[in-house]
Structure 1
Amino acid sequence: MDGRRRGSGRGTGSGLQANSSAPFPPARRWPTVGLVDHAEARDVAFRCHRVLEPLHSFVYFAPEAEQELTATGLRPGRMGYFASRAAPMGPVGAGVVAATFYNFNPELVARHIPRAWTLASPGRILEARLAAADAGLRRVLGEELITSPRLAEAAELARSAASVLSPEGRPLYAGHAELEWPSEPHLVLWHAATLLREYRGDGHIAALVGHGLSGLAALITYTATGKGFLEPVAKTTRGWSDEQWAAGVEQLREQGLLDADGRLTSEGAVLRQSIEEQTNASATAPWRHLGAEKAARLHELARELSRHAVAHGAFPDGIFATARA
């Protein structure tokens, strides 16, 4: 995978709770037959997402990414994140990036996009991101795991899961789906995890829109669940000022979704649960394709790999409220 689109030839930590329980305790029953039941399929979609997502998202925190992306001419900091994740869509404007990333302050996005495209082409940026993923995975997994049959098996299963995804209504996924597959197993796994994550993410945004939450409201309410970024990190990384955040909180209080202490009310909790259920429901296709047995095997392998990566510095200290894997 060198940043070219398929068939076109064109470029285009320890702060986590290390001793916390696994997100999917072994005692939970895994379906033993085909994923026909909708509730079981949604559950499997969520469980597999939780263990695959760190294998994709670590790259946004990896020092290798900063090194590779700044070497293309991009400025240090958030420019690399916005440009590298948006690059599969081509040199799009700030409005497109803000819309597809959803919970970032559009003012923050506009400081970096479209300027990034004047400093490096999308194709060159994608090459740099892949190089960062390669180096980063070698660091957090180690050569023994990188070359192991277990990783190769996980890569094959994840690629199979990603092979049935449809691009309709999923712009970030659609852009990534046009990229060539890499050849090395650890990069196949990373690319498959990326496709599955962006496919699910596009569906999640559809659920947020359908439930009437703006990008800021979505971020505030998710932070209030205690499952994502810690509040100071959410504000800083997404570019929202204290004043903007406070105004968003007040509006959610008036809507009955947050209480006086900024916690989710029962109505707010029901709303978030409904959003997650719709997100999971729209992300079942790859797991129905794999079937229960292969999905369980991929979950087992990906959980092992993600836990190893997290334990070996995949994410910075003190940014998440709960463990990543």
Structure 2
Amino acid sequence: MDRAVAAEVAPRCHRVLEPLHAVVYFAPEVEQSFADAGLDDDRMAYFAGRAAPLGPVGAGVVSATFYNFNPRLVARCIPKAWSLVEPAEVLKLRFAGAEAALRRLLGDAADAPELTELAGLVREAAEACTPEGRPLFAAHADLPWPDGPVATLWHGASLLREHRGDGHIGVLVSEGLSGIEALVTHIATGKGFRLDVAKRLRGWSDEEWATAEQGLREREILDADGALTEQGQALRARLEERTDEVSSAPYRMIGEDSARRIAELAKPFTRTVLKAGGIPQELFARG
């Protein structure tokens, strides 16, 4: 597949697969199983769930690979989480909870032949990814594939998401944006979390946020009102374009027809998940 075509298909696939992965962060099945095991703090459960494939790592590794979270928030949760629940047990709970949540949200569609086809294509794309420079993806990719199409689809979507995320961090570093600066500029696009939600979930204080905004104003990325300047808009467009480029390799490997088939097959399943409330829309801005 031509690189330009792949860079166009990659974000389409990402948009329709991301909700199928992200249900794990909001599913009551996952939240309850983590709480029962001892991870009753939602931030600790989040960090432990995503970081568990890395093993019992420290806060520095989690801060580096997650990037836009306040390191103090991470340090409050990691490595304490591993003293409560071992990473291997966290992984078992996460996989089981994610599959149960997807089955609940999809209903009868969970057993559709189209889902089995989609799971196979997503696995093919995920297995075409390479781990160089992508530590969080590599850790998740080292895990054995689960049984069954629903669990396979979730794991494959998670792998593609972490592959893209690691690539995105590389792009942010190359553009000289810190974690909080990356978050501030993304919120300024109006396409992410609401401002109050972003601060709370990522652990940044009003003062820290204001300091980051001031630094971005000095670089002429934000204007006096906190909106993106023309230069800031160009920066965000460049970040997304470069992320699409560095995330396109698995779709080039499986070919244009298969990549477009992923987007076609995933769309109705994602609509079903969103309609069923799998991702709480009230957390997000309406821009």
TM-score (norm 1): 0.87
Contact 2:128 2:254 in 1 (8 A): no
Aligned counterpart, 2:213: 249
| RMSD of aligned alpha carbons | 1.1
Contact 2:109 2:115 in 1 (8 A): yes
- The partner residue of 2:26 within 33, 57, 61 is 61
> Structure 1 CA distance, aligned partners of 2:88 and 2:286?
35
Bigger drift between 70-79 and 113-122 goes to 70-79
The alignment status of 1:145 with 2:109, answered yes or no, reads: yes
Which structure 1 segments of 5+ residues have no match?
1-34
> Structure 1 CA distance, aligned partners of 2:286 and 2:102?
22
- Please identify runs of 4+ aligned residues in structure 1 that moved more than 6 A: none
Aligned counterpart, 2:92: 127
Deviation, 1:104, is 0.3
The alignment status of 1:105 with 2:70, answered yes or no, reads: yes
The alignment status of 1:270 with 2:237, answered yes or no, reads: no
The alignment status of 1:198 with 2:162, answered yes or no, reads: yes
The number of residues matched between the two structures is: 287
Deviation, 1:74, is 1.7
- The partner residue of 1:74 within 15, 36, 39 is 39
Aligned counterpart, 2:7: 42
Q: Comparing both structures, which one devotes a greater share of its residues to helix?
A: 2
Supply the AA of the counterpart residue of 1:154: L
Aligned counterpart, 1:117: 82
- The partner residue of 2:136 within 152, 172, 178 is 172
Contact 1:68 1:131 in 2 (8 A): no
Post-superposition CA distance 1:115-161 (Å, at most 9, x none): 0000111000000101110111112111x111110110110110011
The alignment status of 1:163 with 2:127, answered yes or no, reads: yes
SS in structure 1 at match of 2:247 = coil
Deviation, 1:322, is 4.8
Correspondence 1:167-246 to 2 at 5 A = 167-246=131-210
The alignment status of 1:96 with 2:50, answered yes or no, reads: no
Contact 1:97 1:109 in 2 (8 A): yes
Supply the AA of the counterpart residue of 1:191: H
> Structure 2 CA distance, aligned partners of 1:295 and 1:214?
32
> Structure 1 CA distance, aligned partners of 2:202 and 2:148?
33
Deviation, 1:275, is 1.1
> Structure 1 CA distance, aligned partners of 2:95 and 2:165?
20
Which structure 2 segments of 5+ residues have no match?
none
TM-score (norm 2): 0.98
Post-superposition CA distance 1:234-254 (Å, at most 9, x none): 111000011111111111111
> Identity rate of aligned residues, in percent?
56
> Structure 2 CA distance, aligned partners of 1:40 and 1:167?
22
Contact 1:145 1:151 in 2 (8 A): yes
SS in structure 2 at match of 1:168 = coil
Deviation, 1:76, is 2.6
